[in-house]
């Protein structure tokens, strides 16, 4: 997060998966503003820090931790949970109506699920996940962005907390076999991409899709954990990363649509390709020690929507998440 004119920009994880400062003109593909420039000229304060993301996860070095128990997901089964899909010019971001996550070894706090965005390479043959596992890069990666509910929109407090954001990372790879429920829902989501080809375009969901639908088939009790950062400028080191071991299986066609449909700006601009930051230095990695239990429940009170709205406004000031 950065202070602009006395106002803290938390860049509501607007598009790339991390808190990106809208005042920094960063990019992925141009040498003048690409990842190599972030720590040396565009966002020196944090992008040159000591707990930067993404990283390569070396599974043999992951230390078992009994405190990494199962998660509790609220409203991830809401069929109206996905509201808007947008081409931010740096990623494809989906705004969430509600949802919370707790447990999973996170601090004693509930985190509000605000949005998810995606990272990809160039089709199914050139992978583009941000994290890698034992050197393997997956075709795509989904980041669900969650912020501590206790801040209720107070970005000053949130940015001072080095565990204010809980990012959930899921790998996507090509389905090998018959279509599944998850792959069908991902095909539906990808079908909206022709409606948001230009940077800034957005569309509202007419189809009923929940987060659980998109995550179907993934064992959410198996994951890696480390402390890191936003993966786009200003690279603030405020993220608790959870990277799930099992991948989401999607169709080849869905993967191809991301790299062949959405553009940086207008119809004559470049396609959005290779939307990921290079691997950063290793961090200490933990993993769950034994089988755990994950639960999904419905919302407990109507007041949650008010709190969520406040948090979203703040983070549309913590994350221009151009894609984090």
* pLDDT for the residue 154: 67
For domain 2-315, give the CATH number.
Answer: 3.10.200.10
* pLDDT score of 155: 62
Instruction: Report, as ranges of residue numbers, the positions in the chain whose pLDDT lies below 50.
Output: 1-20, 300-307, 314, 316-317, 320-323
Q: What is the pLDDT of residue 22?
A: 54
Report the alpha-carbon distance of residue 16 to residue 178 in Å, rounded: 30
Residue whose entry in the numeric block shows the structure tokens 């969901």: 205
How many residues make up the chain in this entry?
324
Residues sharing a CB contact under 8 Å with residue 152, sequence separation 6 or more, in sequence order: 307, 310, 311
pLDDT at position 42 is: 84
Instruction: Encode pLDDT of 15-54 as tens digits.
Output: 333 344 556 789 998 999 999 999 998 888 899 999 999 9
What pLDDT is stored for residue 214 in this prediction? Answer: 98
Domain borders along the chain are: 2-315
Structure tokens at 153: 């929109």
pLDDT value of position 251:
97
300-310 pLDDT, tens digit each: 444 444 445 55
In sequence order, what are the beta bridge partners of 244?
223
pLDDT tens digits, one per residue of 93-108: 999 999 999 999 999 8
State if pTM tops 0.75: yes
């Amino acid at each position: 997060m950065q202070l602009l004119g006395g106002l803290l920009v938390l860049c509501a994880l607007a598009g790339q998966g991390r808190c990106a400062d809208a005042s920094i003109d960063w990019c992925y593909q141009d040498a003048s503003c690409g990842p190599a420039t972030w720590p040396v000229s565009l966002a020196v304060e944090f992008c040159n820090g000591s707990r930067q993301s993404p990283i390569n996860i070396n599974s043999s070095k992951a230390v078992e931790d009994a405190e990494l128990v199962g998660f509790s997901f609220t409203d991830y089964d809401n069929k109206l949970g996905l509201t808007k899909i947008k081409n931010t010019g740096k990623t494809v971001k989906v705004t969430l109506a509600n949802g919370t996550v707790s447990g999973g070894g996170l601090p004693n706090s509930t985190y509000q699920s605000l949005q998810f965005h995606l990272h990809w390479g160039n089709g199914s043959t050139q992978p583009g996940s941000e994290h890698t596992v034992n050197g393997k890069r997956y075709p795509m990666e989904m980041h669900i962005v969650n912020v501590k509910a206790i801040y209720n929109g107070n970005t000053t407090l949130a940015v001072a907390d080095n565990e204010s954001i809980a990012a959930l990372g899921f790998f996507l790879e090509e389905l090998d076999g018959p279509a599944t429920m998850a792959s069908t829902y991902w095909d539906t989501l990808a079908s909206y991409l022709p409606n948001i080809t230009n940077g800034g375009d957005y569309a509202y969901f007419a189809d009923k899709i929940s987060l659980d639908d998109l995550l179907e088939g993934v064992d959410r009790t198996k994951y890696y954990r480390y402390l890191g950062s936003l993966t786009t400028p200003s690279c603030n080191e405020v993220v608790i990363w959870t990277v799930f071991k099992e991948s989401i299986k999607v169709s080849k066609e869905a993967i191809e649509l991301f790299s062949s449909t959405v553009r940086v700006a207008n119809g004559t601009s470049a396609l959005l390709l290779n939307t990921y930051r290079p691997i950063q230095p290793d961090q200490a990695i933990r993993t769950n020690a034994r089988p755990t239990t994950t639960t999904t429940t419905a919302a407990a009170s109507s007041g949650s929507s008010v709190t969520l709205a406040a948090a979203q406004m703040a983070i549309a000031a913590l994350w221009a998440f151009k894609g984090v």
